């Protein structure tokens, strides 16, 4: 795996949200994702949101929060990398910044969910050390929770120690 050069990672500023929300569906291969990424993640959850820049262009972001129910646990809501900038370590760098912020906030575990059909997300999370939570239902050998986020919205639940 190559390492992206000249990538800076920082908290969101100014119009970062407006730029990201315009491309997010394209970054997910045309899936309608924008409605699941309201601006509040870039304002109220800014301390747990990071944006990656390369040559003054946004090439990735991660957003999440510390669980209000269980401060021992941080939760990653979304991670996305520009398709033209993938496979160069930007997703890993974004996650490592998020992990550092979660540890600094006192969390010792991190969770996220993904669709069982999102094979690249599953491969990425396993590579980053996440384990799927056990479930009687499996697809392609991965346990998942049917209708976890509503009818037809199956999810793999991932967790990792920090
Ligand atoms: C998932 C995603 C964020 C990965 O970003 P990325 O910058 O390409 O990932 P990295 O280059 O940092 O890869 C990190 C590790 O994951 C592995 N990995 C990443 N994508 C992979 C894939 N499609 N298949 C196999 N392994 C993969 C890499 O080999 C790498 O391993 P290494 O560091 O041990 O060599 C990116 O593909 C993406 O934005 N996908 C669309 C949005 C999405 O589905 N987000 C996740 C659900 S919210």
Q: Give dist(CA 20, CA 74) in Å, integer.
A: 23
CA dihedral angle for residue 14, residue 29, residue 64, residue 107, rounded to 10 degrees: -140
* Residues sharing a CB contact under 8 Å with residue 28, sequence separation 6 or more, in sequence order: 80
User: What pLDDT shows up at residue 5?
Assistant: 76
pLDDT (average), residues 141-158 = 97
71 has a pLDDT exceeding 60: yes
* DSSP state for residue 110 in the 8-state scheme: E
- Choose one of 60, 113, 120 to mutate for the ligand 1 pocket test, by most ligand atoms within 8 angstroms of C-beta: 120
Asked if residues 82 and 24 have their Cβ atoms less than 8 Å apart, the reply is no
Can you give the pLDDT at residue 107? 98
CA 121 to ligand 1 centroid distance, Å: 6
pLDDT score recorded for residue 2:
54
Q: How far is the CA of 127 from the centre of ligand 1 (A)?
A: 8
Q: According to the model, what pLDDT value does residue 1 have?
A: 52
The per-residue pLDDT for range 7-37, each reduced to its tens digit, is: 999 999 989 999 999 999 999 999 999 999 9
Q: Is the CB of 40 under 6 A from ligand 1?
A: no
Q: 1-24 burial string, b = 16+ CB within 10 Å, else e?
A: eeebeebebeebeeebbeebbeeb
Predicted confidence at residue 4, as pLDDT, reads 72
The helix or strand, by DSSP H or E, that contains position 80, with its residue range, turns out to be strand 73-81
What's the predicted TM-score (pTM) here?
0.96
Residue 53 pLDDT class (50, 70, 90 cuts): very high
pLDDT digits 0-9 by tens, 72-129: 999 999 999 999 999 999 999 999 999 999 999 999 999 999 999 999 999 999 999 9
Q: Which alpha helices (DSSP H) does 4-155 contain, by range? A: 16-27, 40-43, 90-104, 119-127
Atom of ligand 1 nearest to the CA of 125: 16
How long, in residues, is the chain?
Answer: 162
Average pLDDT over residues 146-161: 98
Choose between 4 and 49: higher pLDDT. Answer: 49
Phi and psi, residue 121, nearest 5°: -65, -40
């Amino acid at each position: 795996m190559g390492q992206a050069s000249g990538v800076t990672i920082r908290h969101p500023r100014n119009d970062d949200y407006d730029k990201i929300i315009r491309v997010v569906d394209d970054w997910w291969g045309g899936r309608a994702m924008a409605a699941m990424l309201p601006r509040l993640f870039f304002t109220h959850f800014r301390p747990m949101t990071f944006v990656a820049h390369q040559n003054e262009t946004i090439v990735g972001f991660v957003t999440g929060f510390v669980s209000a129910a269980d401060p021992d646990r941080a939760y990653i809501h979304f991670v996305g990398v520009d398709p033209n900038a993938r496979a160069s370590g930007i997703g890993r760098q974004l996650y490592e910044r998020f992990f550092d912020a979660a540890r600094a906030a006192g969390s010792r575990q991190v969770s996220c969910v993904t669709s069982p059909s999102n094979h690249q997300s599953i491969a990425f999370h396993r590579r980053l050390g996440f384990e799927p939570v056990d479930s009687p239902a499996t697809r392609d050998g991965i346990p998942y929770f049917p209708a976890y986020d509503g009818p037809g919205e199956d999810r793999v639940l991932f967790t990792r120690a920090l």
